[in-house]
Amino acid sequence: MDIAAITLDLDNTLWPIEPVIARAEERLDAWLKIHCPRAAAAYPVTAMRELRERVAAENPRLAHDFTAQRRLSLQHALLPNGYTQSHVDAAFDEFHAARNEVECYADTVPALERLAARFPLVSLSNGNADLCRIGLDRFFRFSISARECGAGKPAPAIFQAACEGLRLSARAVLHVGDDAELDVAGAHAAGLPSAWVNRHGLTWTGAVPPHIVVRNLNELADRLLQPIADSAGVGILA
């Protein structure tokens, strides 16, 4: 492959997301107990999680917009209990601040430093992480979220938006991510080659395999930056 740029997924590729969301939910609950106790009593952590899942199911138009889903869930929880939109906004801000307190995998920053020195990097995420808050924005030319794009992975539109922003053809942009459907199949549908970050030693079960399989981002950097001695390049399934 002749790779000129890289797009990267964020959640579960640069950091594990499950513990982040669990902490953010606990932080939100603690905030509600102080500032909106009636809502906190009606919607403890488990009930708030179920509310958000129900809101998401009832509003498929918001499938690409986790921020809107969360805000709407908070409106359902707070407004009927006598609180205002300003409480909703403040509650979301508390959740979102905690959502951006991530702990990167040990390989993330070293690999980003190496990759960014050679390739333009673009973040491509269905989530609502803020790379400026997290402190990783310096590695990326720009970021595209599903919310901004109006469609999330695996829809081709979000991959195409990255290629347009880079002014490169799809075949020149490698997409890197952990999810077989959202990242690998989505990239292929949009014409991008893919790299699957398989941190947990899973067996590939998809129809079309990724072009590259690595266990972590340092391994990806090794594969992409090492001198290529044969005509096969880096497009070899590991």
- What's residue 206's pLDDT? 85
Q: Residue 235 pLDDT > 80, yes or no?
A: no
CA 216 to CA 171: how far, in whole Å? 23
Residues composing the chain: 238
Q: Note the pLDDT of residue 55.
A: 98
What is the distance between the alpha carbons of residues 183 and 153, in angstroms, rounded to a whole number?
A: 7
The angle subtended at Cα 100 by Cα 23 and Cα 224, nearest 5°, is 115
Please tell me the pTM assigned to this model.
0.91
Residue 201 has pLDDT above 80, yes or no: yes
Predicted pLDDT of residue 227: 57
**Quick one: pLDDT band at residue 234, thresholds 50, 70, 90?**
very low
Average pLDDT, the chain: 94
Distance, CA of 87 to CA of 99 (rounded, Å): 18
In order of 42, 73, 124, 212, the CA distances from 149 in angstroms are 35, 22, 10, 27
Say whether 174 sits in a helix, a strand or coil.
Answer: strand
pLDDT for residue 236 is more than 80: no
Instruction: Measure Cα distances from 224 to 13, 44, 162 in Å.
Output: 17, 47, 20
pLDDT digits (tens, 9 = 90+) for 132-189: 999 999 999 999 999 999 999 999 999 999 999 999 999 999 999 999 999 999 999 9
Segment 190-202 shows an average pLDDT of 97
Q: Please determine, for residue 119, whether its predicted confidence score (pLDDT) is greater than 60.
A: yes
Of the candidates 71, 39, 32, the residue with the CA atom closest to the CA atom of residue 55: 71
Calpha distance 27→33 (Å, rounded): 10
CATH 3.30.479.10 fits 5-16+106-225, yes or no: no
Residue 228 pLDDT level (bands cut at 50, 70, 90): very low
Architecture of domain 18-99: Up-down Bundle (1.20)
pLDDT tens column, 70-93: 999 999 999 999 999 999 999 999
CB atoms within 10 A of CB 179: 18
Residue type, 62: L
Please give the average per-residue pLDDT across 178-202, as a whole number. Answer: 97
| DSSP string computed for 49-94 | HHHHHHHHHH-GGGTT-HHHHHHHHHHHHHGGGT--HHHHHHHHHH
Q: Where are the domains of the chain?
A: 5-16+106-225, 18-99
- What is the predicted pLDDT for the residue at 196? 98
Antiparallel, parallel or unpaired: β 121-125 and 142-145: parallel
- HSE-up of 198 (CA within 13 Å, CB side)? 18
Looking at residue 51, its pLDDT comes to: 98
